[in-house]
Amino acid sequence: MDHHLTPTPPSPMENSAAGPSSKPPTPASTPNSRLASAPSSRHSATPTHASAPASAPTPASRTVYSDRFIPSRTGSNLALFDLAPSPSAASSHEGGPGASSGSAPAASPYCTLLRAALFGPDTPDRVASSATACSSSSSPGPSPVGNPATGNIFRFKTEVRRSAKRALFLGEEEEDALFPGIFTTRGAGPRKVPRSPYKVLDAPALQDDFYLNLVDWSSHNVLAVGLGNCVYLWNACSSKVTKLCDLGVDDNVCSVGWAQRGTHLAVGTNQGKVQIWDATRCKRIRTMESHRMRVGALAWSSSLLSSGSRDKSILHHDIRAQEDYVSKLTGHKSEVCGLKWSYDNRQLASGGNDNRLFVWNPHSVQPVLKYTEHTAAVKAIAWSPHLHGLLASGGGTADRCIRFWNTTTNTHLSCVDTGSQVCNLVWSKNVNELVSTHGYSQNQIIVWRYPTMSKLATLTGHTYRVLYLAISPDGQTIVTGAGDETLRFWNVFPSPKSQSSDSLSCIGGTSFVRSYIR
């Protein structure tokens, strides 16, 4: 509490005549006067003698302290620490006697943040009380002890919210709620996702088949698309289209998959062949004829290529070996339509038309993990780049669910009913978000925030099932394909944190463009 009384020092005659109601003088010029307190009402002051020194108080005039005391800061005089009330409160009293040019630093963002972290956010009653206390502390008149205008610091209860005590450990959403207007660089509210594609490519003969995988994006920023019996390459930087191969009238493209280096493309055909093409020279370097039926799924792991077929098998092809395949995985009872290696190349996830999701290790010929919760074909599979062993999978029309699995502990984490057929899943490399594409009955694209699975955006535009999905090498753009014979490019994810905010991707333009891929 503060004392602002400055009594005139008494003379010896006044000391000798002091009655029981007199109080010991309290100099206001010393710093200790801020911490001095009035005698407790339970003790009465005794008369002092003229011969006794004025600085030696009698036992009855001493302040009584308890064995432990925890003060409440909500009633403190913030002007002592140059933490005046918030600018809104201070502005209402700037015309008063307490206003001075020294109050300007207290309105800085640092002082505002520090005050909020120490004392909690400004509520209307706190603003009024603090402003009144600051004004009262500057007034020359007396301020009795316990006056509500000054605030009583000898309290054991405080109005500071619990969230203020965790101010240094908050997330972005809580920071914005506790310190509104301070973290202005992040922006208010959720991230804005453009609702329209910035580019549309016409893709004639793009098949409307749920079990095929006809679109993939390389690390060299080249998009491969299977159209009928041909494979076309579209350079995202130059928009140049190149025809890679033509399988002839007797065969069709069923799947495409880029190697990690981005120079070689695998092509799965309707006749069960797997071809390896050098994209830089547009030359086929190998053909492997190991499957008996169409190859609808491909996945690379360094020099190992895995292929899934309608013949229910998965084959591992080592492109360094002379043999067509080095191992054969059996377990699915129907066509294999989904295939993805984890980012560390230690686990392979496969989904089939038998509603099964299997996980294999590089040396197993039988699945090490089996998940049977889906009630429809499992084509959509995605490994998280942020958490080891986190796997997402999506089911077909009869299932409509996205499920999450921890393959390290072999546990089912969560399930989200999307309301429509889940065709594809892909995880963002830049943020902990993922995107799903859907078929019957809404044909939408949804951006999700993990792990809350709150929807950031729902994108529409395709008139058929969104069967194909790929993500750009910078992790910002996705391309979707559908039976309406269009490829649509969407900016859905933010740039990496290490990338400067003013850098622009060569594919990240915002102007709408429509052209042909062949």
Domain range for 435 is 199-502
Cβ-Cβ contacts under 8 Å for 123 (sequence gap 6 or more): 159
In a domain, 15, yes or no: no
Q: Does residue 411 sit within a domain?
A: yes
* SS3 of 45-100: CCCCCCCCCCCCCCHHHCCCCCCCCCCCHHHCCHHHHCCCCCHHHHHHCCCCCCCC
| Spatial distance between the Cα atoms of 76 and 89, rounded to a whole number of angstroms | 16
Q: Is residue 23 domain-resident? A: no
pLDDT at 251: 96
pLDDT score of 21: 44
Strands of the sheet containing 230-235, edge to edge, are: 215-217, 222-227, 230-235, 241-246
pLDDT of residue 130: 54
Residue 52 is predicted with a pLDDT of 44
| pLDDT at res. 173 | 46
CA gap 189, 184 in Å, rounded? 11
Beta pairing class for 477-482 and 336-341 = unpaired
In a domain, 7, yes or no: no
Q: Is residue 179 part of a domain?
A: no
Domain assignment present for residue 142? The answer is no
Amino acid making up residue 205? A
Cα first-last separation, the chain: 82
Check residue 115 and give its pLDDT.
72
170 three-state secondary structure? coil
What is the domain count for the chain?
1
Give the residues across from 487 on adjacent strands.
201, 481
The answer to the question of residue 73 being in a domain is no
List of residues 6+ apart from 359 with CB closer than 8 A: 347, 348, 349, 350, 367, 368, 369, 370, 371, 391, 407
CATH number of residue 493's parent domain? 2.130.10.10
150: Cβ–Cβ under 8 A, 6 or more apart, which residues? 1, 2, 75, 77, 133, 136, 137, 143
**Beta carbons of 327 and 315 less than 8 angstroms apart:** yes
pLDDT at 22: 44
Cβ partners under 8 Å of residue 323, min gap 6: none
CB 341 within 8 A of CB 377: no
pLDDT value of position 496 = 83
Report the candidate in 110, 85, 113, 128 with the shortest Cα–Cα distance to residue 176. 113
Radius of gyration of the chain (CA): 37
Query: Residue 58 is which amino acid?
Result: T
pTM of the complete model: 0.65
The tokens describing 2, both together, are 């503060």
Q: Could you state, in chain order, the average pLDDT of each consecutive group of 10 residues for the chain (518 residues)? A: 44 42 43 40 43 48 60 60 54 48 58 72 57 52 45 50 45 48 51 94 96 97 97 96 96 97 97 97 95 97 96 96 95 97 96 98 94 98 96 97 97 96 97 96 95 96 97 97 97 75 42 60
In-domain check, residue 275: yes
Length of the chain: 518
Start-end of H helices in 179-312: none
Please enumerate in sequence order all residues whose Cβ is within 8 A of that of 17, keeping only pairs 6 or more positions apart, or say none.
none
pLDDT of residue 99: 45
Other residues' Cβ atoms within 10 Å of the Cβ of residue 467:
28
Task: Tell me if 133 sits within 8 A of 75, measured CB to CB.
Answer: yes
DSSP 378: E
H or E stretch covering 105: none
- Span 79-97, pLDDT tens digits: 655 655 555 544 544 444 4
Q: Which letter does DSSP use for residue 44 in this model?
A: P
